[in-house]
Amino acid sequence: MSKVLEKISKAVIQGDDDEIAELTQDALDEGLGAKEILQGGLMPGMDHVGVEFKAGRMFVPEVLLSARTMKGSMAMLEPLLAEGESIAVGKVIMGTVEGDLHDIGKNLVAMMIEGAGFEIVDLGTDVSPAAFVESVKKEKPDIVGMSALLTTTMRNMGRTIDALKEAGLRDQVKVMIGGAPVTGDFAEQIGADGTASSAPAAVDLAKSFVDLV
């Protein structure tokens, strides 16, 4: 790995969002492309963060700092791309389902998935099946992520999948679901493609959907 990519990786791991702009500029000055910087510096750093978080050696505030550092670099790289080109490894729309206002877990998952190089469209909370369908039509994501924390709103995940089917869009996206009451059995029952109970596991699941692992 080139020295500057190594430094970028380290800045992501340390959540050093002061230094990341300068390092990204150094890498560009050395002639490295946006994709090289993403794949050779930012993503290896974020992968390391995921491993450390899973092992209990890093905690949520540090992970959020790392994600913010990564975002800072990506904001500099995006405008350099040709029109229509993207450095994102995939696009994910995320929302908490209808009737449900819990968003702490969803936001955490969204930030970590974004930190892993995905583009995130966050629909917020209390998102109706129709709003998910509209967003899939407009954004053409690879993945739809739904969160629910209430046993009463969990069924709206199934209703959203049914609405995607009715709109003829179900085969165009992978659907992942999560939230404290969600189980693997439930995911299977409603026809989701998978579930994960933590943010790093959600990152692994999203990556598996776009053939990154």
Q: Which is nearer to ligand B12, 28 or 186 (CB)?
A: 186
- Please name which of 42, 38, 57 lies closest in space to residue 12, comparing C-alpha atoms: 42
The stretch among 29-37, 79-87, 127-135, 198-206 that binds ligand B12 (CB under 6 A) is 198-206
Cα(48)–Cα(60) distance, integer angstroms: 14
Q: Interacting stretch for ligand B12, rule CB under 6 A, among 6-14, 127-135, 156-164, 173-181?
A: 173-181
CA torsion, points 84, 118, 70, 78, in degrees to nearest 10?
A: 0
* Cβ atoms of 20 and 9 closer than 8 Å: no
- Asked if residue 129 lies in contact with residue 136, where contact means CB atoms within 8 angstroms, the answer is no
Is 103 one of the binding residues for ligand B12 (CB under 6 A)? yes
Provide the minimum distance between the beta carbon of 128 and ligand B12 in the complex, in angstroms, as a whole number.
14
**What is the nearest approach in angstroms of ligand B12 to the Cβ of residue 106?**
5
* Options 8-16, 35-43, 145-153, 155-163: segment touching ligand B12 (CB under 6 A): 145-153
**DSSP assignment letter at 89:** S
For 141, phi then psi, to 5°, come to -80, 165
Residue 102 lies near ligand B12 (rule: CB under 6 A)? yes
The binder of ligand B12 chosen from 23, 98, 106, 156 (CB under 6 A)? 106
Tell me the residue ranges of DSSP E strands in 58-148.
91-96, 119-122, 143-147
Applying CB under 6 A, among 109, 133, 157, 190 the residue interacting with ligand B12 is 109
Beta bridge partners of 49: none
Number of amino acids touching ligand B12 (CB under 6 A): 30
66 vs 195 by CB, closer to ligand B12? 195
Measured N-to-C along each axis, helices 155-166 and 129-139 cross at an angle, to the nearest 10 degrees, of 50
- Interface positions with ligand B12 (CB under 6 A): 99-106, 108-109, 145-147, 149-152, 176-181, 195-199, 202, 205
